[in-house]
Amino acid sequence: MSTRLIEIPADAFAREVLPLSAKLWAGRRDLATYQRQTTEVARSPYGRANYATFGFEVDGMRVASCKRYLRTIRFGTKQLRAAGIGAVFTPEDYRGCGYASAMLATLLDERRAAGDDVAYLFSDIRPQFYGAIGFVELPSRAISLRADALPTTRVAVERLEAKDWPAVQRTFAAREAERPWGFERNAQVWNWVRLRIKHGSEHTAGSETNLVIRRGRTLAGYVIGVRAPEHDAYVVDEFGWGDRDEDVVAPLLRAAAGDLRRIVGWLPPDRARELLPRGAVRKRKDAIFMAAPLTKAGKAWLDAAHASSSADGVWATDHV
């Protein structure tokens, strides 16, 4: 039996793989939209440099597939190379044969040889499957707040506009620098984040609602998320604030929720978590953050990330 991992060009992946996997990964998008948006990611500046799609072949037959995203993790003063894995898929006729496990093991070997320190993913189905091949489950929780538990301080809240993104990026970088570790975002990564926000690919319901508070020419704070009236909730993906502007976070979230009863989302990372009321926190049933160390430096980071107890390590906008 011969096996090999091969890169599948973006157009071929959209044409041959996505019709099979759409039921799992397309969300509320129809197939044509799912194909178009996936190809758009592949052709973006981030995609051309850091994103690829793969198939695993056994005796010439494609039996599994996945996506790979390259990112950098800042860990103290170190920069770790990280390979994200997404959309792991096995066609129904080939399930139960261990092909997905073999594909991921081959991919991990290749990324280790390429010099990566960590592999990571967000598991929606059977985290124990990934645990069996070396992935460790990291804190992955959701929070739910009553919107009326937040103060209704009168502030001038406005829609996030294209001109605000450079300030959003600077604000994000300043707050992330205060944390022990986090995923770094260069211009290519920010382009990818904005593209996925425009696509609405991370939410099965709701409408994009991104707000800012400006103070003169500076940005005091921002929030990214969706209003989902069908769930009576505002779903937060990320928020940030300027130096000494912690007081804007609560009114920003309250304004985003409007007449909706709840504010929900992933439990934010440290520093951001401290600005929210206690709320109801539970373990997530999907998008469970998992990682596998590929080097000693990666193992040191994983130990530190696993020890986190009061907050999660990543924003929902880092999901792959």
Spatial distance between the Cα atoms of 258 and 17, rounded to a whole number of angstroms: 40
56-104 pLDDT per residue, tens? 999 999 999 999 999 999 999 999 999 999 999 999 999 999 999 999 9
Q: What are the pLDDT digits (tens) for 18-63?
A: 999 999 989 899 999 999 999 999 999 999 999 999 999 999 999 9
140: β partners: none
Q: Write down the pLDDT at residue 125.
A: 82
- Amino acid 36: pLDDT: 97
pLDDT at 1: 79
pLDDT value, residue 120: 98
The predicted structure's pLDDT at residue 281? 95
Domains 3-140+284-318 and 142-282 share a fold: yes
Q: 155 burial class (0-12, 13-18, 19+ CB within 10 angstroms)?
A: middle
Give just the sign of the alpha carbon dihedral 192, 168, 156, 238: positive
* DSSP E strand boundaries for the chain: 3-8, 51-58, 61-75, 78-89, 118-123, 136-137, 141-146, 157-159, 181-183, 207-208, 211-215, 218-228, 233-241, 262-266, 280-283, 288-293
Q: Domain limits of the chain?
A: 3-140+284-318, 142-282
Would you state the pLDDT for residue 152? 76
Return the pLDDT at 56.
98
Cα–Cα distance for residue pair 60/4, rounded to 1 Å: 9
What pLDDT score does 300 carry? 98
Check residue 309 and give its pLDDT: 78
Please give the pLDDT value at position 278: 85
Helix axes 187-199, 31-43, angle to 10 degrees: 170
What whole-number distance in Å separates Cα of residue 297 and Cα of residue 121? 18
The residues of the chain scoring below 50 in pLDDT are none
The domain defined by 142-282 folds into Aminopeptidase (3.40.630)
Q: Which CATH superfamily is domain 3-140+284-318 in?
A: Gcn5-related N-acetyltransferase (GNAT) (3.40.630.30)
- Quote the pTM value: 0.95
